[in-house]
Amino acid sequence: MRRRMLLLATALALVFATMAAPLAYASEAVSLDATKADVSTDDVTISADDENQTAVIDGCDFAVDHFERASKGSNRDIAGSYQGYAYYNGTKPNTLMYLVTNDMVLVYVDPEHAKLNGFDPASADDRARLQQMLVSLDTAVGKGNALIGSSVPWYFTTERENELDGVLYKFGQEIDGDSYNLIVGADGSDVTDSSNAHYVQPSFACYGRLILASEAVIAQQPGWLETFGAFVSTLDWSPLFVTLKTTFTAIVFIFILGLAAAYFCLHRTPKFRNLFDTIFTIPMVLPPTVCGFLLLLALGSNTPVGKWFIDIGFPLIFSWPATVIAAVIVAFPLMYRGALGAFDNLDPNMLDAARTLGWSESKIFFKIMLPLSWSSIAASTVLAFARALGEFGATLFLAGNYLGITRTIPIAIYFEWMNGNTDIAIFWTIILVIFSFLVIMFINLWSQHTTRYRKGAVEE
């Protein structure tokens, strides 16, 4: 009898051990099966299709597709109570998810889909290949954001809830019809609080699907010419048109006002000349944002000037004319000072001689002063044009950022970069650099030409 009882107990122990095997593996997968992140990704092929990020490795039975990344989570209450630091899973059926903290990566693989798609969670080789794919995809999707550290350990699990060092990591938790990945203390505390004994710093979360490698669709990377053609064809060119229209309009006002101001100061007494020279030059030394703010205070909708323009149906603020006003104010000092310096260098005896011959002041200006000063005036005009072309701060304050109306290239660069469109920001930056290069080259060639002309005239 005792022998039968012993045999029965042994059989029951074997049955329970067999039933508990998957749970034992999950626990082992979390606490023991850790690998380093410094793996080679040379064998991984990434699809060029940005809407369906896919990665495959030659000779590997499984692949990863529909890869996405959540760079930020939320630490607010969900459904009326604190659930932990949460990453929203989205609406796609994710069978592969992982959480990244400051000191580790925890990867969850749905066991059913793992079996269907050729991934063996118990295989070190399969885990290493999956890690290669995830690192490659994360690098491709990161676009300048934080990436996985090269020395943090990776853990793999098939359990939706896992505890490590007093912290619970939960995958695919359904709350009020939405799915979340959660990081919370085993006691329900906020582990993102630095005073918590189990402090964890979440970095980001990623999602994807395991599929058979035979089902993976890898879009080939197009050539640079095709890529550039597609980029140009989808680019919104309105910032270029707004910038050129604004700059060419502004330079007309800058040219006329700059010459007039220089001529006006030329005939003032030293006391008044210093006063007006300071007023005309101050926009050049003030930050552009300060100029824009002062213009906003002077021309805003609540000012007498602003109200008058609104009453006549021609509002200034946050309109295209505001971009012209901002460009004129900021670039005007360059034109003024260049013209004033050119006029000061003229021989006053020559001008007095023209007056003794009965020439009027306007005839002296157009027949003598302007032609003899034209080299410096032209250079000042080009510099003012370049300054108006690159104006940002005052324009943003006074005109705002309205696509197709007030969005100039400098404003487009800033907001495209802020929105993560780095490629577009780089393209507009290159355009401005090219314009600046051409402007400087023109000034240099013009200066060399006028220098040779003057030397030739002196030699003759």
Residues 332-359: tens digit of each pLDDT = 999 999 999 999 999 889 988 998 988 9
> Which DSSP string corresponds to 283-309?
HHHS-HHHHHHHHHHHHSTTSHHHHHH
- Write the CA distances from 81 to 84, 168, 382, integer angstroms: 9, 17, 63
Alpha-carbon gap, residue 419 to 384, rounded angstroms: 30
pLDDT higher than threshold 70 for residue 287: yes
Alpha-carbon gap, residue 188 to 202, rounded angstroms: 16
Most confident of 2-11, 141-150, 212-221, 363-372: 363-372
Find the mean pLDDT for residues 407-429: 90
Instruction: State the angle between helix axes of 320-344 and 270-285 in degrees (0 to 180), rounded to the nearest 10.
Output: 140
Tokens of 329: 């104010």
State percent of the chain over pLDDT 70.
85
pLDDT band at 203 (very low <50, low <70, confident <90, very high): very high
Gyration radius (Cα) of the chain, Å: 35
User: Which domains are delineated in the chain?
Assistant: 32-221 (no CATH), 228-459 (1.10.3720.10)
Strand partners, 105: 100, 154
Alpha-carbon gap, residue 25 to 17, rounded angstroms: 12
Q: Which of 333, 325, 324 is nearest to 295 (CA)?
A: 325
Identify the helix (H) or strand (E) that includes residue 114. helix 111-116
Q: Which residues contact 192 (CB under 8 A, 6 or more apart)?
A: 75, 85, 183, 199, 200, 201, 202
pLDDT one-digit tens code per residue, 36-80: 444 566 788 888 666 678 999 999 999 999 898 888 899 999 988
Find the mean pLDDT for residues 253-269: 92
Q: Which of 62, 222, 203 is nearest to 132 (CA)?
A: 62
